[in-house]
Amino acid sequence: MSISVENISKLYGEQKALNNISFKVNKPEIVGFLGPNGAGKSTMMKILTTYIEPTEGEAKVNDFDIALQKQQVQLSVGYLPEHNPLYLEQYVREYLAFNAQVYGVNKTRIEEVIELTGLTPEAHKKIGQLSKGYRQRVGLANALLHNPDVLILDEPTTGLDPNQLVDIRNLIKSIGKEKTVFLSTHIMQEVEAMCDRVIIINKGEIVANKTLKELRDDKEQVVVVEFDYRVEDAFLLKLPKVKQVVNTHDFVYEITFTTTDDMRSHVFDFAHDNQLKILQLNQKNASLESMFRELTNQ
Ligand code: ADP
Ligand code: MG
């Protein structure tokens, strides 16, 4: 097991940042840790990288205990912090060489991670001369130096422009083929673009833990129908697999079904059986984005 978290809670003074969190991450897998700002993502990541200690609970990274085997955990993990502290006056190789020394890593590994993260054309520059996208690559190169099995990346794509975003996503995806990647984000599309699984956290609690496939499969469907006459909601609630009926305006109804099967023919039959005319009939899929908003009440 790459990451195993059991009943972790974290209090900052009076404030509970994490409330009894448990989850597991296998290898190799890219798992998105999704939640709005302040949800507790960075706190969880700092605990897993041994930067801070939990108030309660246990966790293991690469089967090493975060409280009892700190050093082994640190050697197993590559960490890209949320605000990556780069030294702008340092050259890329100089920065990586310093960290290579800290980890006792061979110098040839520096060139390897430069190549691996696509830094080669910029590697002769000072970090301060690099774009945000390339600075993130330096952070990733640094996290990869000691060839850890697990990468913990705190909001690795935040603040990147669209081109940089695509490049860094691709880089993370290729890293994820061999290593376990646990990355945080507050943007649902990031999860859709990169991850095999998503763990959604809100106010320090886990509200969903699903593969992307599961999320898509239990996606709800909304059928928007306009009749030529008023219909009682209770009547429409008799349709199969209906979750909710909302009369949005006039004779227009939004019917939520808990299935991905196209339910329009059922609505059509319903109208026919009740001598109603259908003036319009459309199907919408509840997107992952709206599911995230719903789960986190945003
Ligand atoms: P996220 O990374 O999801 O935005 P954080 O883990 O940074 O969330 O923060 C979770 C909550 O804990 C927030 O309400 C934040 O204000 C609070 N918090 C984070 N770090 C500290 C700290 N060092 N001292 C006090 N409160 C903190
Ligand atoms: Mg954070």
Structure tokens at 162: 């669209």
Question: Where is average pLDDT lowest: 3-17, 44-58, 206-220, 268-282?
Answer: 206-220
Task: Please give the average per-residue pLDDT across 13-29, as a whole number.
Answer: 94
Q: Residue 63 — φ and ψ, nearest 5°? A: 70, 10
Using the atom order of ligand 1, give the atom closest to the CA of residue 44: 6
28 upstream amide cis, omega within 30 of 0: yes
Strand order in the sheet with 64-65: 15-25, 3-12, 56-61, 64-65
Closest-CA residue, ligand 1 atom 27, reads 12
CA atoms of 82 and 155, how far apart (whole Å) = 6
Q: How confident is the model at residue 57 (pLDDT cuts 50, 70, 90)?
A: very high
Q: How far is CA 210 from CA 111, 159, 200, in A?
A: 37, 26, 9
Q: Which of 196, 244, 182, 219 is nearest to 295 (CA)?
A: 219
Pocket of ligand 1, beta carbon within 6 A: 12, 15, 17, 35, 37-43
Task: Please give the average per-residue pLDDT across 232-250, as a whole number.
Answer: 92
70-128 confidence digits (pLDDT tens): 999 999 999 999 988 788 999 999 999 999 998 889 989 999 999 989 999 999 999 99
CA atoms of 254 and 68, how far apart (whole Å) = 55
The reported pLDDT for the residue numbered 220 is 78
The reported pLDDT for the residue numbered 83 is 86
Out of 43, 55, 190, mutate this one to test ligand 1's pocket (max ligand atoms within 8 Å of CB): namely 43
264-282 confidence digits (pLDDT tens): 999 999 999 999 999 999 9
The reported pLDDT for the residue numbered 123 is 94
CA atoms of 242 and 125, how far apart (whole Å) = 60
CA atoms of 59 and 66, how far apart (whole Å) = 6
The pTM of this model reads 0.81
Task: Give 55 Cα–ligand 1 centroid separation in angstroms.
Answer: 14
The reported pLDDT for the residue numbered 96 is 95
CA atoms of 5 and 57, how far apart (whole Å) = 8
Regarding predicted confidence, which is higher, 161 or 146?
146
The reported pLDDT for the residue numbered 284 is 76
Task: Please give the average per-residue pLDDT across 28-51, as a whole number.
Answer: 96
Task: Please give the average per-residue pLDDT across 16-36, as a whole number.
Answer: 94
